[in-house]
Structure 1
Amino acid sequence: MHAKREIVAKGKRVEAPQPFAREEHLRSILDAVPDAMVVIDERGLIISFSAAAEKMFGYREAELLGENVSRLMPSPDRERHDGYLRRYYETGQPKIIGIGRVTTARRRDGTTFPIDLHIGEARLGEDRVFTGFIHDLSERQETERQLHRLQSELAHVSRVTTMGTLATSIAHELNQPLTAIANYTETARELLKSPDPATLAIVQEALADCAQQSIRAGQIVRRLRDFISGGQPERRVESLSRLINEASAMALVSARERGVEVEISLDQDADAVLVDRIQIQQVLFNLMRNAMEAMEGSRTKILKIRSAQDAHGFVRVSVSDSGPGLDGDIAAKLFHPFISTKATGMGLGLSICQTIVRGHEGRIWAEPSRLGGTAFNFTLVNAGVKDG
C-alpha cells in the first residue's frame, strides 16, 4: 500500500491524492478539453488518445494504442512521418514542434479535414514523448465559406460599380488623345486626295501629332495600371512545403468526397522560397480549386502537386489534373482578363495569378499534363541558392 502523504495548502494540511486517484483526476481533466489530444512515444506509437480525439477521428482509444500515429495522416505525410522523426533526432531542428501549423488529417472512414496542429515535447524519466493538440478547422472553414459567399456577392456589386467608374475614368482620360488622333488622321486623308509639296508637309505634321497623342494615350493606360497594381509584394523567405500544405488543407478539403486522388511530391532541397506568403497561397488555392472543378465530370480524377529545382535559381511548382484539358482557342489567351472556362466565371482568377507570379519575378504557364488534363506551372525565386 502507498503510505498516505500530506501537503500544506494555504496553511491547511490536506491528504495528497494517491497515484491511481491522480491518474483518474488527470484523465477527467483531459477528457474535458475540447481539442483532441494525441500522445506518442519516440517511435511515433500512440500511448494516449483523448475522448475528443475519439470523437474527431472516429476511433476508440483501445484500437489505436501502440499504433503508429501516421495512421491519422493522409499521403504523403503518412509515408514520411517516421522520416520526420528521425531527422529531428539527428539534427535537433524542429519543423513543427513548438511552432504549430495548418495541415490535413484523416478520419477512420478515410475522409480528410483541415486541422490546426500544435506539438509539445516532454520527458518522462529517460523517455521522450510528444503531445499533439489538434483543432478541427472544418466548422471554421464552413463559416468562412459562408462569409466568403456573402463577401463575393458584395464584391461582385463592388466590382461592377468599380469597373463602371474605372471605365468612365478611362473613357474620359483617353477621349482627348483618341479624338485628336481621329481628327489628325481624317485631315491627313483629305489632304492626300490632292497631294502637293505644301499639303505633304501638313500631312507629315499631322502624322507626327498622331504619334504624340498615341504616346499620351499609352502613358494614361500605364498610369492607371500602376495605380491599380499598388506596388511590389512584401516578400520573405518561407517554406514552400508549408505553404502548399496549408493551401491544400483548405483547397482540397472535399477532394476524397469528390473522388479525387491527391498526390503531393515536394523537393525538400528546394524548400526555401522568397515570397509574399498570402499571395502565393492565393495562387496555389486558385490552381488547386480550378483543377478540382476541371475534373468534375471525369471518370479518373487525379491531382498531382509537385515542386522541383528549376534553372537559374528558381523553384518550379506544378499543379496537374486528369481532366479533359484545355480548348486550343482558350489556351492561347488563358491568362487574359475576362477569359474563363467556366460558365459563371469572370475570368479574373488566372489573370490575378499571373500578376502575382510576375510580381515575384517568376513566370506561369499551362501545358498538357501526363495525366491527360492540364498542368499549370509557375516559378518562384529559390532562396536556398546563393549567387556566385
Structure 2
Amino acid sequence: MDSLKLLHAIFNTAIDGIITIDYRGLIETMNPAALKLFGYEEEELKGKKICTLMPEPDRGAHDSYLHRHQDTGENRIFGIGREVLGLRKNGTTFPFRLAVSEVLYENRVIYTGFIHDLSKEKAAEEKLKKYTEELEGKIKDRTQNLEHLISELEKARDEAARAMEQQQELNLLKTRFVSMASHEFRTPLSSIQLSALLIDKYLQKKDPENIHKHTGKIKNSVAHLTGILNDFLSLEKLEAGKTQMLLQHFDLVKFSEDLIEEMQLISKENQTIVYQHTGSISQVYLDPNLLKNAAINLVSNAIKYSGENTFIEFNTEVDDGEVCITVKDNGIGIPAEDQKNLFEPFFRAHNTGNIPGTGLGLNIVKRYIELMGGKVVCHSAQHQGTSVSLIFKKL
C-alpha cells in the first residue's frame, strides 16, 4: 500500500503533465499539472475521448492511429517522443513534447502520455529568430557594431544549447526513473503475489515448512519496498529543502560500534565487518542522524555488492583538523566509465546485474554529507572492491 501511495504522490506532484487512457482512447486519469495545462477540472474530462484535447488534424486522425496500432502493431504514436499541439478549454493551442507508453496492467492495456510544455522554449526560439533577423539588418547598416552584435548572437546560441542540454539531462533522468521503478517495484510485488498463492496451496497440504519459507519471502519483499519508499522520501525532503541538520557533540567510536552491531545482523553468511578507530580523541560535532543514514547506506552497499566469507572494513579517524569515516569492501567494484555518474539520482553501474537498488543511495549520501559541510571521496575498480570516505573539517 505504501508503494501505491508513493506512486500517487509522484503522479500528483509531477511538474510535467501525465494522462492515462484506456484502449478506446477514453481519459481515465489526469494529474494536476495536466489539468492546469489544458485549463480543465478533472470531472470535465474523465471518460471523454483524448482527442478532446487535440486540434485538427490530430483530433480526427487520433482514433485511426490508435486502432491501427491495436490491429497491426504499427507504431506511429507509441514509444516515440514528438512535438504536438494541445487544445485548451478556452480554444487556444500550445506546443508540447509528447511521449506515449503502452502498459499492461491488471490484464488490460493502458496508454500513458507524458506532456512537457514547450511554450517557453518555443517563445525563446521565436525570440531568438526575430532577434537574429534584426541583427542581420543592423549589420548591413552599422558595420562598426559588428563585433558587439556577433557576441550577443553567440550568447543567445549558448543559452539555447544549455537549454537543450538541460532538457536532454531531464529526459535521461526520466528514463532512469521509469526503468528503475518498473523493475524495483515489479520484482518484489511479483514475489509477494507468488508466495501468497503458494501459501494457500501449502495450507491445504498442511505444510508449515514451506508456509514459513514463503512468509519469509513476503517479509523480505515488503522490507525491500519499504527501503525504496524510504529512499524516495529522503530524496523528496532534500528536494523540498525540508531536511533539517541538527549538529551535536557525540562519541564517534560508540556511534560506530552500535551501527556495526546493527549492520552485522543483516550481513551475508560469514561476512565480517571489522572496525578500527585511529586517533586519541573520538568526540565529533556532526548530525548523528544524517551521518547514521549515510553510513548505513555505505555499509549496506558493501554487504550487497560483496560475496560471502568476506571482510568489510569500517574505519574512523579523528585528528585536530579532520574527521574521516571510510567503508571499504572487496566486492564487484565500479567500472571506470560509470564512476563519473556515480552520484547522479537513479544511476546504477552496468555491472550490478540483478542486485536490487534504486540508484538513489549515493546521491542521498552525498547531499547529506555536503549539508554538514563535508565531502564524499570514492575509489573503486571493477573486481577490486570499493572504498568510500566521508571527510569533514573538525569544528
- Which structure is larger by alpha-carbon Rg, 1 or 2? 1
- Greater fraction helix: 2
Query: What is the TM-score when the length of structure 1 is the normalising length?
Result: 0.47
Query: What is the TM-score when the length of structure 2 is the normalising length?
Result: 0.46
